[in-house]
Structure 1
Amino acid sequence: MRVLGVDPGLTRCGVGVVEGVAGRPLAMLGVGVVRTPSDAELGDRLVAVERGIEAWLDEYSPGYVAVERVFAQHNVRTVMGTAQASAIAMLCAARRGIPVALHTPSEVKAAVTGSGRAEKAQVGAMVTRLLRLDAPPRPADAADALALAICHIWRAPAQNRLQQAVAAHRTPTASRRQTTPGVSRTPGASATPRTPGTSGASATPRTAGATGTSGTPRTPGATGTSGTSGTDPAPGASAAPRTSGASRAPRTLKGRSA
């Protein structure tokens, strides 16, 4: 794996190329700084950064480009220049179809030194040791660019496995895609017609007026449980006359005393 590390900046843009794989000794292929005059126009400075990065891409043909992720700082002017140089590096890589990876300063320090709060001197010392150099690269921007390349070589395999696992989890399995075919109903087939008025398996038609469980028809006017038929009054017969003329006992009225 060959990686071009870019430590973005308008005045000094550090660049460094490292080749190797995780778990094996690494080799530095080149390191340097792309400089632009601070008194030049912004557009001219950005063009100079682009030409410098393009020259490094032409010479070393890296398979990946690692750029430091820009964080907000108190100095707005400084962070704006850093972000603009970072965009130029990503543009040059994207134009050639080279994958770009962004790493935070804490990630780079933790990968190289084991501590995300390491000082620049510690980063330079570890870069010198890992790449078996005679002296730390100067200026510090060049050492930071090499540290970015080392960080990506060591972290890329784990990141790729994580991305593959996420992609496999999102892709539905073959068993989920297969559906059990449903049993189709014969065209034109209909359910067995049901006899009107029947319910249950052995429903017997009920005789009108019948009650109880025996099903025996009940004689109109019959009452009671014995089943004996009652006698209806003969036509024209009337009930016993009610004695009329009975009056209530007279009520004594008491006069008001004078």
Structure 2
Amino acid sequence: MKDSAPSTPLHQPRRWLLWLASSMALTSLCFVSMPQPEAKAVDEALSRYSVAADQQYVRGNDLMLQGNYTDAAAAYRRAVSLNSRQSAYYRGLGNALLALESPSDAAVAYRQALRLNPHDALSYKSLGDIFVQQDRRPEAIEAYRNAITAGPNLTVAYVRLGNLLRQEGKLDEAMYNYQQAISTNFSVPEAHYELAITLDAMGRKEEAKKALERALALYTRQNNQAGVQRIAALQQREEATRPRRRREVARNEAEPVRFNR
């Protein structure tokens, strides 16, 4: 005698389909009937928290403009406590902490911003600035490169990366980054100034002179007296060393040629 077939739904296709349909209907009924009022209340609460967080963020920005960094940091902290999913809130907190000369705490805030938004070019740039302060050049270079990848038009990142590369003796790479900075925003005088310094170090004196003239024109147009004075001081140093260089050249030309016998 044959054994009777198992009575579980999985072994009886028609009964299994009926069982699946009834289960889905029951699940749907529970979903529709139970949590709707609570879900609406939760949505409303989240909306209120989001609005309040935005208000604190805006307040933090206003306080930063006023130079009140302590209260700005407090406002950004409140924004984060109300909504911890916005990278801009953490970046604002990092900016306030950096202004308060707390670079280590600022770095923590910037890293949190980057965890939420890996394409936050400004947070990468600010991390690079912190690493420069801490004399962590390789990490600073990496941070500026990441900033450029995330924000190809972030002029300041090109300039600061160029400065670090020049310090490492990588003049060609430094020059390239200054040129990229100028191509993204011609009106940034620092890019022309740093390019002039680099070209001079490469022995390309005429190009360096033209770049310095562009920097001076931009500083003057923007009424940036510190920049104008910076170039004036550089030119004075050049004038002071020029007679010495001429004497050295004249002495070298006057020396008789000696042949080894």
Larger helix share, 1 or 2: 2
Identify the TM-score tier after normalising by the shorter chain: under 0.3
TM-score w.r.t. structure 1 length?
Answer: 0.22
TM-score w.r.t. structure 2 length?
Answer: 0.21
Report which of the two structures shows the higher radius of gyration computed on alpha carbons. 1
Q: Which has the higher contact order (CA 8 A, sep 6+)?
A: 1
